[in-house]
């Protein structure tokens, strides 16, 4: 084949162009750390990366929701623990005051303490968390119990996703803990105890031993449920956090470049470019007449 | 004796003239070694028969061009395909930048809205969280609109580009028609109009870059009939022009306008050259992206609206959609906005599944969150994956266009090398020829001097 001037120049320019493109690409990869930046770099990997990014973001968001729900459940569980203590103290008072050696004055004083315990229980039933009143069901914007101890919340549930299509109820029923919906009405039982103490009615005081114990158990049961839900929420959040990490890792595997091969390629590309430049200069400074 | 010497004198003179012509052609080759489209020339000499008058001399019978029609047609063919690929690749890169930018894409905004709704699940009554959801929803609608608007703008740009290409093309067609006329006139000149043919070759190649060209030469006149887009664009001196307009559906309409004014529709036949590439990018690739984006916008907005309308705002009212868009998928992305009843009113965002669950109920918010994982009717994929498939589709088209360019560049490089090998100028060869013809010229002069001396001696001996 005859070799002409144009062939030499075209070949040199084309080679130089290819080398420059290789250096450019290697520089982009090495400096950004990304093997796939645009969809056209690797359409399949790009699409997988997009899907992983979406699922990772969703998992992180679900995990956050569960963390916040866990935070409110923790508040509720703490309030219920205190409520259990309140009822335990009320039962202790009832047991102590049921003793025949107690006089009416002592019982009246105890009634004052029981009144205080009832107010304390009211405060606990109206505890607020990050998402409003924790025992109000879905009516979270107003205190679920009035100063007259009436329940004005509802039994609506609030759920959080622990996986696509799978939910976990993350709120508690204040009705079940603090009203007869759970079996006993602790406020009424404490009120009855205080009245019995104030009126020195030993039979009523004796009866309160059982009712306050039942109320304590009722609150304790709801607290156990809260603790269980709290653990499930925490566990699900942790699983989702790990899932997000795995998806991020998988996404990085699809889209990111390994540092060592990227820098090796950059070095090779730069060397090839330099060599090509030298040869191109020789060819362009040609011709054989000039040598 | 004297008459033989006189004949020899004539032979030497013809030799000097022939070598001078050869030197001139060699000089011309060297001067045009890098001229685009230049085809190497060669002087054809032939021995003149001296019969019956003694020995013969040399004649320059013609100057030839080292032109190969077959290779030229191959170059034109590959050039047209390469140009189509390059135009399409450029347009697809723009489309990819619009639909799947590295940040802030429709997919990113959908993802951000999904996260915002997840927050609403956690805090259904929180006005700040509701405000964030509305803000993200507005970003989704705005990004769909902006993306669709940019695609429409890109379609307009590609139309203008195609018109510009047609304008350049028409200038070249007119110039080729003029050259055909000049070549017919110069057909019998010593070089056969070689310079004009070079210019025509180059122009035809430039036409091929724009529309893809095939040529057939009329041996009697040397004129070329040029085909492009499946029709005759130049027949000798009769030149058609190429019009680029839009058909009733908004697609490119490419027509050849005959010298008499008749219009020939060649739209579907224009598959090569930059016009062919622009047409495919504009009316196939870009339209596909628009259709898929519209389907995504329509399906996404509809699925969110169904779930949102079933829920209740903080005011206890139900039945409000979140997004407003077109009644059908066509134009849905461009038309997408926040529904006016909800825009700017976070309290109207539906989170509760029942009025009684307001404000702490999150049943509707959960239903909306589920739509982000549910398959859309058109694509059969969830919204985020549908966007990923759209971006991947454009990426695949772009990378295959790039791969085709690489292939075509390789093939064109080969046939160009073949053309150069046959028609191009090798300076080394020309230098050798230069020396050869110079020595032959010097030798002819030497013969002249020798004959002159012999004649001189003959004249002296007669005295």
Domain ranges of chain B: 2-66+425-462, 72-95+161-283+398-415, 103-152+296-388
Predicted local confidence at residue B218, as pLDDT: 81
When CB atoms are compared, the residue of A4, A41, A51 closest to B426 is A4
* Cβ within 8 Å, pair B394-A39: yes
The pLDDT, as a whole number, for residue B80 is 96
Closest Cα in chain A to B419: A7
- Taking only residues 29 to 48 of chain B, the set having a beta carbon closer than 8 angstroms to any beta carbon of chain A reads 33-34
Q: Does the structure show a pLDDT above 70 at A225?
A: yes
CB atoms within 10 A of CB B358: 26
Go through the domains of chain A in sequence order and give each one's CATH number.
50-251 (1.20.1330.10)
Residues in B closer than 8 angstroms to A3, CB to CB, are: 421, 426
Structure tokens at B21: 């012509």
Q: Which of A7, A9, A68 sits opposite B122 (nearest CB)?
A: A68
Inter-chain touch B111–A161, beta carbons under 8 Å: no
Output the pLDDT for position B50: 65
> What is the radius of gyration, based on Cα positions, of chain A?
37
C-beta contacts of B117-120 below 8 A and 24+ residues apart: B117/B365, B117/B368, B117/B369, B117/B372, B118/A58, B118/A61, B118/A62, B118/A64, B118/A65, B118/A161, B118/B369, B119/A61, B119/A64, B119/A65, B120/B349, B120/B351, B120/B362, B120/B365
Give the minimum alpha-carbon distance from A25 to chain B in angstroms, rounded to a whole number.
15
Q: Which residues of chain A does B93 touch, with a Cβ-Cβ cutoff of 8 Å?
A: 40
In chain B, what percentage of residues exceed pLDDT 90?
Answer: 77
User: Tell me, what's the pLDDT at B260?
Assistant: 87
Give A64's contacts in chain B (Cβ within 8 Å): 118-119, 122
Q: State the average pLDDT over residues B102-111.
A: 95
Highest mean predicted confidence (pLDDT) among A166-175, B27-36, B134-143, B183-192:
B134-143
A-contacting residues in B 74-103 (Cβ below 8 Å)? 92-93, 96, 100, 102
A161 in contact with chain B, both atoms CB, cutoff 8 A: yes
pLDDT of residue B261 exceeding 90, the answer is: no
Those of residues 125-144 in B touching chain A at CB distance below 8 A are 125-126
Of the listed ranges A26-35, A280-289, B32-41, the least confidently predicted one is A280-289
**Confidence at residue A248, expressed as pLDDT on a 0 to 100 scale:** 96
Residue A280: the pLDDT is 82
Q: What is the pLDDT of residues B21-63, one digit of tens each?
A: 999 999 999 999 888 889 999 999 988 876 555 567 888 888 8
pLDDT at res. B2:
58
pLDDT, residue B231, reads: 93
For tokens 């362009």, the residue is A284
Confidence at residue B403, expressed as pLDDT on a 0 to 100 scale = 95
Phi, psi of A169 (to 5 degrees): -70, 125
* ipTM for the assembly: 0.87
Q: Which of B48-52, B102-106, B367-371, B400-404 is the least confident region?
A: B48-52
pLDDT tens by residue, B118-131: 999 999 999 999 99
The whole-angstrom distance between B7's CA and the closest CA on chain A is: 40
CA angle B85, B89, B90 (to 5 degrees): 120
8 Å CB contact of A54 and B362: no
- Cα dist from A153 to A89, A173, A215, B59, B375, whole Å: 26, 9, 19, 118, 37
Position B425 pLDDT exceeds 60? yes
Q: Which of the residues B92, B395, B405 would you substitute to probe the A interface, choosing the one with the greatest number of A C-beta atoms within 10 Å?
A: B395
pLDDT(B3) > 80: no
pLDDT band at residue B301 under the 50/70/90 scheme:
very high
Cβ neighbours of B362 in A, within 8 Å: 138, 158-159
pLDDT digits (tens, 9 = 90+) for B307-330: 999 999 999 999 999 999 999 999
CB contact under 8 A, A38 and B100: yes
* pLDDT at A291 (0 to 100): 43
């Amino acid at each position: 084949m005859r070799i002409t001037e144009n062939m030499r120049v075209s070949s040199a320019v084309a080679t130089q162009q290819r080398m420059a493109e290789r250096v450019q690409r290697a520089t982009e990869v090495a400096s950004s750390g990304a093997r796939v930046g645009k969809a056209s770099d690797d359409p399949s990997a790009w699409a997988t990366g997009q899907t992983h990014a979406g699922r990772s973001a969703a998992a992180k968001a679900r995990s956050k929701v569960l963390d916040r729900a866990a935070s409110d459940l923790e508040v509720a569980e703490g309030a219920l623990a205190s409520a259990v203590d309140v009822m335990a103290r009320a039962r202790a008072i009832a047991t102590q005051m049921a003793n025949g050696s107690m006089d009416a004055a002592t019982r009246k004083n105890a009634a004052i303490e029981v009144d205080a315990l009832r107010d304390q229980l009211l405060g606990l039933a109206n505890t607020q968390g990050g998402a409003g009143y924790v025992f109000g069901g879905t009516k979270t914007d107003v205190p679920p119990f009035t100063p007259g101890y009436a329940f004005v919340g509802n039994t609506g549930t609030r759920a959080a996703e622990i996986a696509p299509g799978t939910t976990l109820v993350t709120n508690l029923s204040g009705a079940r803990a603090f009203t007869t919906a759970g079996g006993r009405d602790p406020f009424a039982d404490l009120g009855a105890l205080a009245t019995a103490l104030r009126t020195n009615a030993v039979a009523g005081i004796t009866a309160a031993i059982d009712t306050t114990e039942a109320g304590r158990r009722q609150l304790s049961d709801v607290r156990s449920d809260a603790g269980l839900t709290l653990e499930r929420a925490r566990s699900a959040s942790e699983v989702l956090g790990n899932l997000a990490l795995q998806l991020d890792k998988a996404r990085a595997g699809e889209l990111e470049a390994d540092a060592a091969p990227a820098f090796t390629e950059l070095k090779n590309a730069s060397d090839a470019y330099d060599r090509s430049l030298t040869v191109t200069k020789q060819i362009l400074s040609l011709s054989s007449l000039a040598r | 004796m004297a008459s033989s010497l006189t004949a020899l004198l004539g032979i030497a003179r013809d030799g000097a003239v022939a070598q001078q012509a050869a030197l001139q052609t060699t000089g011309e080759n060297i001067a045009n070694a890098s001229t685009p489209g230049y085809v190497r020339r060669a002087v054809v000499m032939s021995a003149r028969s001296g019969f019956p008058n003694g020995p013969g001399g040399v004649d320059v019978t013609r100057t030839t061009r080292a032109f190969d029609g077959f290779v030229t047609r191959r170059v034109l063919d590959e050039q047209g395909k390469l140009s189509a690929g390059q135009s399409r690749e450029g347009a697809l890169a723009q489309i990819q930048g619009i639909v799947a930018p590295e940040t802030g894409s429709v997919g990113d905004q959908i993802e951000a809205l999904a996260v915002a709704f997840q927050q609403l699940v956690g805090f259904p009554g929180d006005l700040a969280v509701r405000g964030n959801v509305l803000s993200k929803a507005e970003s989704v609608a705005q990004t769909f609109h902006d993306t669709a608007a940019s695609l429409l703008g890109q379609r307009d740009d590609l139309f203008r580009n195609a018109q510009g290409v047609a304008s350049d093309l028409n200038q070249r067609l007119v110039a080729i028609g003029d050259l055909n006329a000049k070549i017919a006139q110069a057909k019998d000149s010593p070089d056969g109009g070689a310079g004009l043919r070079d210019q025509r070759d180059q122009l035809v190649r430039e036409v091929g870059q724009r529309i893809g060209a095939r040529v057939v030469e009329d041996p009697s006149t040397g004129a070329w009939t040029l085909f492009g887009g499946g029709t005759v664009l130049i027949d000798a001196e009769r030149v058609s022009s190429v019009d680029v307009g839009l058909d009733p559906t908004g697609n490119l309409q490419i027509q050849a306008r005959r010298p008499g004014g008749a219009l020939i529709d060649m739209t579907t036949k224009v598959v090569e050259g930059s016009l062919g590439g622009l047409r495919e990018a504009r009316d196939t690739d870009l339209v596909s992206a628009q259709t898929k984006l519209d389907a995504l916008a329509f399906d996404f907005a509809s699925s969110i609206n169904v779930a949102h309308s079933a829920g209740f705002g903080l005011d206890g009212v139900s039945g409000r959609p979140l997004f407003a868009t077109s009644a059908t998928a066509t134009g849905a992305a461009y038309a997408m906005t926040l529904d006016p009843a909800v825009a700017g009113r976070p309290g109207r965002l539906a989170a509760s599944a029942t009025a009684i669950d307001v404000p702490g109920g999150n049943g509707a918010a959960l239903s909306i969150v589920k739509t982000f994982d549910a398959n859309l009717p058109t694509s059969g994929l969830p919204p985020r994956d549908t966007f990923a498939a759209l971006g991947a589709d454009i990426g695949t088209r772009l990378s295959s266009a790039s791969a085709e360019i690489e292939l075509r560049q390789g093939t064109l490089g080969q046939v160009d090398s073949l053309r150069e090998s046959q028609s191009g100028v090798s300076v080394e060869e020309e230098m050798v020829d230069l020396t050869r013809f110079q020595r032959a010229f010097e030798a002819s002069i030497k013969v002249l001097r020798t004959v002159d001396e012999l004649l001189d001696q003959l004249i002296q001996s007669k005295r």
